[in-house]
């Protein structure tokens, strides 16, 4: 008999070692690479952690009360986590996302959890999402804006849960910590904890090559959902408020490295086919950077921990799945061939 609820299952995700997918340089360097499987949270991503903490923090403060509506602008995974939490707790929920085809799964999952979804003009980017959502909340006194990009309950949950989990699961040995930059909460909270435990730990943030805004570069379009919103994040900015965006460290963050849209797909595919770990494009990006680090001389014999933020099955409308979807369309014709005269085997994917 158990008394735990769905919400109680958030966190305490596995940390697993990978071997087959490592580059030759990583193997020659005898690097231990560990992947934190955040897709095993009940909502399918690392964002379940912050969704839970931001909602429960607001409840404790009294800024979120029964009968109110939870509202947030998001690239998707935080929206799913919030929609799930609101369903479990009985709140109405409005999720605001850009109207882009790769967001199809996010739209239908949020709707399945009972949330309403507002879609904004893609060309207006993150500033458009933010402005629309803030105006919406301003006009409705019973709406609560979660505000993940500025809500301190975001990095704090990574400091109190994600960081300690990784430290314990790794055997108290973390030399490099690699995470993507969405809100900056994971890098801020988890990175701070790990650097307190090991002052020599290198925290490495990953941006899309097409959007290296934390180095002062211009934002251009990319397909790595969940990272690279196109504006410097509040939490990482606050690590060194007076420091310009440029190459080098920022607070406890040692480096900002990058992966391109195509590299993120390449490495997400490799993780699925060589390790059985199905991840989204942002996790492909973080793993690509982990492999870059693993080939450095200073990584010899070290431990690299990588965040796998979300499950790959959530991205079937994304270019990550393009080749498989095209193959499946040929393999599974509509209408199906119902002939009994053409033998038993109709398709062999090895010969596609």
**Catalytic site residue 262?**
no
pTM: 0.95
Strands (E), the chain: 15-18, 32-37, 69-73, 92-98, 116-120, 143-145, 176-180, 202-208, 253-259, 303-308
Provide the pLDDT for residue 1: 63
Q: Mind listing the pLDDT tens digit of every residue in the chain (352 residues)?
A: 679 999 999 999 999 999 999 999 999 999 999 999 999 999 999 999 999 999 999 999 999 999 999 999 997 899 999 999 999 999 999 999 999 988 899 999 999 999 999 999 999 988 999 999 999 999 999 999 999 999 999 999 999 999 999 999 999 999 999 999 999 999 999 999 999 999 999 999 999 999 999 999 999 999 999 999 899 999 999 999 999 999 999 999 999 999 999 999 999 999 999 999 999 999 999 999 999 999 999 999 999 999 999 999 989 989 999 999 999 999 999 999 999 999 999 999 999 8
Give the 3-state secondary structure of residue 152: coil
Q: How far apart are CA 267 and CA 269, in angstroms?
A: 5
Q: How far apart are CA 286 and CA 308, in angstroms?
A: 8
Looking at 47, 52, 202, 270, which residue is catalytic?
A: 47
**282 assigned to active site:** yes
- Dihedral pair phi/psi, residue 114, rounded to 5°: 95, 0
Three-state DSSP at 66 gives coil
| Omega prior to 274 cis, within 30 of 0 | no
Check 156, 211, 258, 282 and give the catalytic one. Answer: 282
Output the pLDDT for position 102: 85
Beta pairing partners, 117? 95
Tell me if 50 sits within 8 A of 78, measured CB to CB. Answer: yes
């Amino acid at each position: 008999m158990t008394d735990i609820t769905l919400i109680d299952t958030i966190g305490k995700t596995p940390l697993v070692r990978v071997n087959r997918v490592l580059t030759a340089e990583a193997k020659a360097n005898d690097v231990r690479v560990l992947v934190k499987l955040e897709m095993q949270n009940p909502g399918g991503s690392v964002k379940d952690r912050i969704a839970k903490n931001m909602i429960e923090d607001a409840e404790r403060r009294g800024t979120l009360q029964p009968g109110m509506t939870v509202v947030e602008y998001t690239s998707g995974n935080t929206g799913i986590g919030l929609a799930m939490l609101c369903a479990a707790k009985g709140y109405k929920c409005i999720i605001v996302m850009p109207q882009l085809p790769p967001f199809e799964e996010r739209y239908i999952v949020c709707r399945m959890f009972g949330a309403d979804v507002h879609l904004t003009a893609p060309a207006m980017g993150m500033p458009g999402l933010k402005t629309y959502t803030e105006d919406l909340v301003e006009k409705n006194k019973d709406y609560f804006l979660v505000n993940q990009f500025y809500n301190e309950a975001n990095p704090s949950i990574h400091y109190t849960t994600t960081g300690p989990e990784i430290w314990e699961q790794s055997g108290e040995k973390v030399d490099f910590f690699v995470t993507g930059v969405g809100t900056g909460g994971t890098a801020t909270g988890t990175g701070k904890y790990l650097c307190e435990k090991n002052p020599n730990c290198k925290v490495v943030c990953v941006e899309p090559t097409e959007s290296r805004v934390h180095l002062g570069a211009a934002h251009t379009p990319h397909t790595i959902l969940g990272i690279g919103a196109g504006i410097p994040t509040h939490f990482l900015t606050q690590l060194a408020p007076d420091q310009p965006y440029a190459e080098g460290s920022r607070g406890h963050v040692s480096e900002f490295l990058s992966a391109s849209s195509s590299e993120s797909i390449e490495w997400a595919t490799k993780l699925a086919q060589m390790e059985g770990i199905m991840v989204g494009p942002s996790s492909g990006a973080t793993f690509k950077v982990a492999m870059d680090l693993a080939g450095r001389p200073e990584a010899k014999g070290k431990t690299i921990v990588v965040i796998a933020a979300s499950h790959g099955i959530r991205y079937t409308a994304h270019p990550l799945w393009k080749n498989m979807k095209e193959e499946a369309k040929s393999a599974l014709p509509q209408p199906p061939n119902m002939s009994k005269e053409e033998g038993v085997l109709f398709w062999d994917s090895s010969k596609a």
